[in-house]
Amino acid sequence: MTWFILIPVNLCRAGKNALFPCIKITFLHMLRKSMQEVRRCCPNRNRTCWRRSARGQRSALLDIHTVISKVYDDELALDLNRQAAKYSRLQEKAEDKLLETGVMPEPISIVDRTKRWASIQAGTALNVSTEHVADMMVKENARRLRHLMSTVKENDVIGRMAYEIAEEFMDFEEENIRILKSYI
């Protein structure tokens, strides 16, 4: 069953010189939806999960590539390189799903890149010990994990693939936190 409702939303005030007032009318199209229709019309929620997952993985890669030159412990450097490889694979998965839906993945802006780089440089200016670098990375991983968890909670009706990619990313972040805490 389909209903159409006419609701005047805004009356334009064109001023004294106007010949007639502008009337903007919005048509609200209301449909009774079954659960199948709800799932079918929620690709934006899937895209949001994939977009935020890919963005988190890009920022993780940026953090790792920025901090890797300051790491003097070979084991930590090896773990960070392994993490970077896994983040790349997860990022490709999320971006492939975005491209399948016709959305271009958005790159990290130059302002965000600069802020992240400056933050890491300032954090390691006086202390480049393994413990400090690992602690910085743990904090960033925890922040990304919280951010993606809130995204999944906000978008409660998401598809199976979006949930699997988000879950894989969250599990990997938890594993990284556990590994990095061993250096503290």
Q: Report yes or no: 166 and 49 within 8 Å, Cβ to Cβ.
A: yes
Q: Are strands 23-31 and 2-11 parallel, antiparallel or unpaired?
A: antiparallel
The torsion angles phi and psi of 11, rounded to 5 degrees, stand at -100, 120
DSSP run (H or E) holding 28:
strand 23-31
Whole-prediction pTM: 0.70
Tokens of 156: 């409660």
Amino acid at 51: R
Q: Report yes or no: 158 and 49 within 8 Å, Cβ to Cβ.
A: yes
The predicted-structure confidence for 31-84, as pLDDT tens digits, reads as follows: 333 334 434 445 677 788 888 888 888 999 999 999 998 899 899 999 999 999
